[in-house]
Amino acid sequence: MGADAREGNAGADGRAVGLVRHAEYRKHLTGFGHPERPERLDAIDAALARAGLHEETVALDAPLADDDYLLACHTPAYLALVKEDIARGARELSTGDTSVCSASLAVARRAAGGVRAAVDFVCGGKGRRAFCAVRPPGHHAAASAGMGFCVFNNVALGARYALRAHKAARAAIIDWDIHHGNGTQDIFYEDGAVFYFSTHRSPWYPGTGAPGETGAGKGKGLILNKPFGAGAGRGEILGAFNGALVPAMRAFKPEIVFISAGFDSRVDDPLGGFTLTDEDFADLTRVVLQIADAYAGGRVVSVLEGGYGLEGLGLAVAAHVGAMVRG
């Protein structure tokens, strides 16, 4: 058990909120000046402590995900490439713009494993909601390529695990990171069991997420992209949640809901350009909770993605987790 996996005082009574943390998440070293740095987790821990949220959540451990788990969303060739890159001492994945170190494979396995533990927690009746403070993030990792600071697609793997292991019929992934989750969209583009909804900045990295990208085959109509220009905030994002996401979920009726919780859409984030506030994130969270309560037995797994201004990241996560715990 990691040093950060301590029991909270909430107790697992079926209504509890789980919290995935692990000391090893800080061992993924990205280099001096890199925005996706271990200190992000320090900022989150400090903000949760100030808000008293460690005592109001249930600590969940984060086991290592094995190859079979990772291959549910990633190709054998890509998994082999990650292993080879890290074994030869590469500082960046050969698929592009994702820094790695000697510990990164183990840390990325534990990030995926932490989300798996959260899925077990909410699907096994121990609690209804969980937040996973994991790194490296995941939503840019496609089936055959890592990019955008992401190695494995933590949220996609969690959704597929819920479908296969816990027999959920339908899963929804709601992504409010300022960057479009191209990897998640890629993995589920032709999948009829997963609905992907994204609000994001456009034009912006990674250049995907146009409204016309709606899925194909069995997945046709199950991708819903809502891009906005720089400066978008509460009116646009919350408006998209209420005006587009809520009716889409009414039709889709997910049995488990995931959040790709990227807080780089917060005002003043150094890699952002949106103007969401901490209270806005709490309100977005409440919309998701209402959807989950209506269709999914309250089951929500939220997974950390972006967010690079340390103080703002901590405050936004505390608002998000606070809404999960206290409503």
pLDDT band, residue 15 (cuts 50/70/90): confident
The answer to whether 35 and 271 have CB atoms below 8 angstroms apart is yes
The tokens for 23 are: 């000391």
Average pLDDT over residues 159-174: 98
The answer to whether 185 and 196 have CB atoms below 8 angstroms apart is yes
Average pLDDT over residues 234-262: 98
Q: Which of 28, 54, 74, 140 is catalytic?
A: 140
Average pLDDT over residues 282-289: 98
Q: Which CATH number fits domain 16-326: 3.30.2130.10, 3.40.50.1010, 3.40.190.10, 3.40.800.20?
A: 3.40.800.20
Rounded distance, CA 29 to CA 250, Å? 42
- Could you tell me the CA-to-CA distances from 167 to 22, 154, 305, 311 in Å, in that order? 28, 19, 26, 39
Average pLDDT over residues 196-212: 98
The answer to whether 307 and 313 have CB atoms below 8 angstroms apart is yes
The answer to whether 275 and 312 have CB atoms below 8 angstroms apart is no
pLDDT band, residue 13 (cuts 50/70/90): low
| Among the listed residues 67, 199, 89, the one whose alpha carbon sits nearest the alpha carbon of residue 139 | 199
The tokens for 5 are: 């996996």
Its sign, for the CA torsion 99, 105, 109, 110, is negative
The predicted pLDDT at position 56 comes to: 97
The predicted pLDDT at position 26 comes to: 98
Domain boundaries along the sequence of the chain: 16-326
Task: Quote the radius of gyration of the chain (alpha carbons, Å).
Answer: 18
Rounded distance, CA 180 to CA 160, Å? 20
pLDDT for 91-108, tens place per residue? 999 998 999 999 999 999
Sequence-distant (≥ 6) Cβ neighbours of residue 47 within 8 angstroms? 314, 315, 317, 318
Cα 188 vs. chain centroid, distance in angstroms? Answer: 15
pLDDT band, residue 327 (cuts 50/70/90): confident
pLDDT for 36-80, tens place per residue? 999 999 999 999 999 999 999 999 999 999 999 999 999 999 999
- Could you tell me the CA-to-CA distances from 194 to 13, 190, 238, 295 in Å, in that order? 28, 9, 22, 14
Rounded distance, CA 73 to CA 53, Å? 32
Rounded distance, CA 260 to CA 104, Å? 21
> Per DSSP, what are the bridge partners of residue 99?
92
Tell how strand 127-132 and strand 58-60 pair up.
unpaired
Rounded distance, CA 327 to CA 31, Å? 38
Could you confirm whether 28 is annotated as catalytic?
A: no
Percentage of residues in the chain with pLDDT exceeding 90?
A: 95
Q: Which amino acid is at 15?
A: R
Residue 185 clears pLDDT 70, i.e. is over it: yes
The predicted pLDDT at position 64 comes to: 98
Mean pLDDT of the chain: 95
Neighbours of 267 (CB within 10 A): 16
pLDDT for 288-310, tens place per residue? 999 999 999 999 999 999 999 99
> Per DSSP, what are the bridge partners of residue 225?
198
Rounded distance, CA 78 to CA 183, Å? 13
